[in-house]
């Protein structure tokens, strides 16, 4: 309304979108809360944090923050996550602060922070239920280490959606969803291939733990393989 009052000759919705596209903004409560919908309230970052954003002289800090969360990663991985291009030179300038590796599968150079945790290759990977759009599947350019191209075609929709998935031994092995009906909630699990007996037992146990959280108020809870 304030924008429309200031520029009455302009389309108010377009003015609103211009603010969203040109200014750093954040989603603020109550938008994005569990199980609720409706319009999403926004605020400028400066007003929400109570301090102006510092001036940036390049993507170096962004690259380091990315690697702290998702390294080891390639230059293409960083670009895919950030939406920025031509990051090879900034990454090269950061080499004195980084350690490098080579992917055993592709030979691509990977970068990471020197003190970042890197578990041994033999570390067990327990069953996990990932939400939609989980960063494990969207924060890198190449995800074949955790999901095959065949399964990615199933989990990724044409309009950019990424399904909630089940990890077995660190790899995507199926999809899941919650189905609510009155006071009951069902966790439906769709394996991409039949689970081994031991894996099925672990998936069931982890699914029951998920239901205890997501269906806390339900009178009836059930895990179903479909």
Count CB neighbours of 158 within 10 A.
5
Res 50: pLDDT: 94
Res 115: pLDDT: 95
Q: What pLDDT, in 10s, does the model give residues 110-135?
A: 999 999 999 888 899 999 999 999 99
pTM for the model stands at: 0.77
- Segments of the chain scoring below 50 in pLDDT: none
Res 34: pLDDT: 64
Res 55: pLDDT: 80
Res 35: pLDDT: 65
Res 197: pLDDT: 95
Res 68: pLDDT: 97
Is there a contact between 99 and 111 (Cβ–Cβ < 8 Å)? Answer: yes
């Amino acid at each position: 309304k304030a924008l429309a009052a200031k520029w009455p000759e302009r389309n108010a919705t377009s003015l609103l979108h211009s603010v969203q596209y040109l200014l750093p903004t954040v989603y603020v409560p109550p938008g994005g809360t569990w199980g609720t919908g409706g319009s999403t309230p926004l605020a400028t970052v400066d007003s929400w944090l109570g301090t102006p954003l510092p001036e940036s002289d390049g993507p170096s800090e962004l690259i380091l923050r990315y690697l702290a969360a998702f390294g080891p990663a390639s230059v293409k991985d960083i670009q895919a996550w950030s939406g920025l291009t031509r990051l090879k030179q900034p990454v090269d300038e950061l080499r004195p602060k980084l350690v490098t590796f080579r992917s055993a599968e592709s030979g691509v150079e990977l970068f990471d922070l020197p003190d970042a945790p890197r578990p041994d290759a033999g570390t067990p990977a327990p069953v996990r239920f990932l939400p939609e759009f989980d960063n494990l599947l969207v924060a890198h350019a190449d995800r074949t280490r955790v999901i095959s191209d065949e399964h990615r075609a199933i989990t990724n929709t044409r309009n950019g959606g990424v399904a909630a998935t089940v990890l077995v031994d660190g790899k995507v092995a199926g999809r899941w969803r919650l189905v609510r009906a009155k006071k009951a909630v069902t966790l439906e699990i769709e394996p991409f291939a039949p689970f081994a007996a031991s894996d099925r037992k672990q998936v069931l146990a982890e699914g029951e733990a998920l239901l205890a959280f997501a269906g806390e108020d339900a009178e009836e809870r059930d895990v179903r393989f479909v």
